[in-house]
Amino acid sequence: MCTYETSHVAVEGAGKGADGWFPVTEATVYFDHPVAAMAEHTLNLDFLNRARGASARVAVELDATSAYALAQAILERLEAAPPALTGELHRR
Amino acid sequence: MRAMDEAMRAETVKFAGHGGDEIEGYLGQPLGGGPYGAVVVIHHMPGYDRESKEHVRRLAAAGFLALCPNLHVREAPGASPDDAAAAARAAGGVPDDRLVGDVAGAIAHLTALPSASGKVGTIGYCSGGRQSFLAACSLPLDAAVDCYGAFVVEAPPPERGLRMTPLLERAGDLSCPLLGLFGADDQFPAPAETARLGAELTRLGKAHELHTYEGAGHAFFSVDRPAYRVEAAVDGWRRVLAFFGEHLG
């Protein structure tokens, strides 16, 4: 693949980039060629803050199996967390 | 004309791109007197990176003026190539009209150099392969090389929501001979797609050479990626230099 097919997610949180922590406002998710991972295709995650410029970015490239396992682990942890702590999530 | 000692000068330059915007590019010049043909190198989707600049230097060592515009500089001035590519992706990619304008600006810069012969070609990789074809259908060129560009023939599947449009209906406007280098294992573009491209160019009477390498997939020229396939890349470089030598020499 070599496409611009990208999912955009508005996020609230913080990420640690080359210049330290910064607020993240957007995540992009795409399955395409990696920059550094030793695979032909990877699931790529970028956490961005466009207002702070292109270098405000936390990037991860994972092979498909790892990315799937990670996504499941995220959902498992969220679903196992006490609803009192994730109330906003459960109201969605 | 090849510089006998392969001496060159390579550096970042500024020039006017689409809409008169000042953009940057990486320029390689053989240090002989010329006259030299010129090549615009259109970088792959991962950006204006070290390996793209290596392509510029290799072309300069072979006796061509070569300039690779940074297609992502507007989204990310001063950023590293991978951050800039991510920013360009987040913004929806490089618009076709802007690409053509940036290539036209690169051509103007190249042909104004004192050692330029006036002949100009393009070469592009990955998304740049499609963009090389687009440039050749939009601008007067002497040669164009498409290295595994997807969505030249087939439209992206509609559910993907991509704004890239196929270019086959533009093939009648192709202004120069086309060299296409593809991998048999690639799905974007798949061999059936590149076969359609060849058939259409034959029907239109457009000069072209298309080669599909067995055992290679997408991005086989990328020496820093697992996709690298040495046999395809070595033969591909041989064909690229011969093609530019014939049409830009």
Residue B1, in any domain of the structure:
no
Shortest Cα–Cα distance, A31 to chain B (Å): 12
Q: Which pLDDT value is given to residue B37?
A: 98
Kind of pairing, strands B8-16 and B36-42? Answer: unpaired
Token pair of B65 as six digits: 């003026």
- CA A83 to chain B, closest CA, distance in angstroms equals 33
On whether residue A2 sits in a domain, the answer given is: no
Q: What is d(CA B68, CA B58) in angstroms, rounded to the nearest whole number?
A: 12
- Judge whether B3 lies within some domain: no
pLDDT of B208 reads 98
- At A29-87, the pLDDT tens digits run 999 989 999 998 999 999 999 999 999 999 999 999 999 999 999 999 999 998 888 87
The whole domain housing B197 covers 8-248
Nearest to B227 among A3, A40, A50 (CB): A40
Interface test with A, best of B89, B188, B224 (most A CBs within 10 A): B89
pLDDT tens digit sequence for B210-221: 999 999 999 999
Indicate whether B20 belongs to any domain.
Answer: yes
Q: Cis omega before residue B35 (within 30°)?
A: yes
Q: For the segment B64-95, what is each residue's pLDDT rounded down to a tens digit?
A: 999 999 999 999 999 999 999 999 988 888 99
Report pLDDT digits (tens) over B227-246: 999 999 999 999 999 999 99
> Does B69 fall in a domain?
yes
- Tally of domains in chain A: 1
Q: Are B45 and A2 within 8 A, CB to CB?
A: yes
A contacts of B45 (beta carbons < 8 Å): 2, 32-33
* CATH number reported for the structural domain that contains residue B183 in this entry: 3.40.50.1820
A&B contacts, CB < 8 Å: 83
Which residue from A minimizes the CA distance to B126? A2
Q: In this complex, do A2 and B127 lie within 8 Å of one another by their Cβ atoms?
A: yes
Task: Provide the shortest C-alpha distance from residue A28 to chain B (in Å).
Answer: 7
Torsion, Cα of A66, A71, A76, A81 (10° steps): 120
Contact between chains at B90 and A39 (C-beta distance less than 8 A)? no
Calpha distance B68→B42 (Å, rounded): 6
Smallest Cα distance from B97 to chain A, Å: 17
Type and span of the H or E element at B58:
helix B50-61
Per CB-CB distance under 8 Å, the chain A contacts of B188 are 1-3
Domain of residue A15, residue span: 7-91
Count of the separate structural domains present in chain B: 1
Task: Please write the tens of the pLDDT for every residue from B8-43.
Answer: 999 999 999 999 999 999 999 999 999 999 999 999
Pairing mode of beta strands B65-69, B143-147: unpaired
pLDDT band (50, 70, 90) for residue B180 = very high
**Contacting residues of B for A39, CB less than 8 Å apart:** 226
Residue A27 domain flag: yes
Q: Is the peptide bond before B189 cis (omega within 30 degrees of 0)?
A: yes
Which residue in B79, B83, B188 is closest to A1 by CB distance? B188
What's residue A3's pLDDT?
63
- Chain B CB contacts of A38 under 8 Å are 226
- A-chain CB neighbours of B90 within 8 Å are 6, 8, 26, 28, 46, 48, 50
